[in-house]
Chain A
Amino acid sequence: DTAVSQTPKYLVTQMGNDKSIKCEQNLGHDTMYWYKQDSKKFLKIMFSYNNKELIINETVPNRFSPKSPDKAHLNLHINSLELGDSAVYFCASSQEHYNEQFFGPGTRLTVL
C-alpha cells in the first residue's frame, strides 16, 4: 500500500490555467506538507498543515491555495499558472513536525 500518494504524476498545462494536485496519506499522520523542488533540485517548503489547520505559509503567492478536507488529505490548487511555477511538487506527511517526513512520488508540473 502506498503511504503518501499524489495525483497526477505529470501535469502539462498552458499559462493562465488553473490546476489542482491531490495528496493522500494512509499513515495516520497529523501533519502534512507541500514542497516545491526547482530545476536545480532545491527543495523548499510551501505549506504545512496540522490536523487540517494551516501552520506554515512560506510567503507563497496567493495564487497557491492549499486545502485540507481532512487530516489524511492535503490538496494544492494553483490559479493563473505562470512559467515560473514549473517544478516538481512534493507532498509529505509526519506524525509531529519534528518527526521524519515521508514524501509522495512528486508531481512534475510544466507550464507552457
Chain B
Amino acid sequence: AQKVTQAQTEISVVEKEDVTLDCVYETRDTTYYLFWYKQPPSGELVFLIRRNSFDEQNEISGRYSWNFQKSTSSFNFTITASQVVDSAVYFCALNTGTASKLTFGTGTRLQVTL
C-alpha cells in the first residue's frame, strides 16, 4: 500500500517569508516517483515537479526548491521569498511501479498575505 502524508493543513505567511511544505510518503516499492502539484484558487491542477526514487539530488527552480530524503521518506517543498500569487493548495503525490496510479496527500493550503 502506498500513502502520502501532508501534516500541515494550512500555513499562513507574510509576503517575502520563506515557507516549507512537508511531505512524507510510505511505500514498499524500491522504484517510485514523487510529484508536487499546485491548485490555485481558480481550481486547475498545475504540475510542478517529478522525482524518481533513484535521484536524490535536490532541485531548484527559481524561488522553488525541493528536498528529497529517502532516509526519512520525505520530499519537502520550499518557497523562498513567498509572493501573494503563491497562495494555493499544494499537493504531494506518489506513484509506484506496482500501483500504477497517483496517490495524493490531503494537501496544504498556503495563504500569503501582504
Give the dominant DSSP class at B's interface.
strand
**Known contacts A41-B106, A98-B95: A106-B100 contact under CB 8 Å:** no
B32's nearest neighbour on chain A, judged by CB, is A98
Q: Number of A-B pairs whose CB atoms are under 8 Å?
A: 52
CB pair A99 B50 closer than 8 Å:
yes
**Cα distance, A42 to B47, chains bound together (Å):** 17
CB pair A97 B101 closer than 8 Å:
yes
B89 in the interface (beta carbon within 8 A): yes
Mask: chain B, 6-46; 1 = CB below 8 Å from A; 0 = not: 00000000000000000000000000010101010001111
**Known contacts A100-B35, A105-B44: A45-B89 contact under CB 8 Å:** no
**Known contacts A97-B95, A98-B95, A98-B97: A43-B104 contact under CB 8 Å:** yes
CB distance from B28 to the nearest CB of A (A): 16
**Cα distance, A48 to B95, chains bound together (Å):** 13
Which bracket fits the contact residues of A? 20 to 34
Indicate which residue in A44, A58, A100 contacts B104 across the interface (CB closer than 8 Å): A44
**Cα distance, A58 to B79, chains bound together (Å):** 34
CB distance from B51 to the nearest CB of A (A): 11
Apart from A44-B104, A101-B102, 10 more pairs, CB < 8 Å: A41-B106, A43-B91, A88-B43, A97-B100, A97-B101, A98-B33, A98-B100, A101-B47, A103-B46, A105-B43
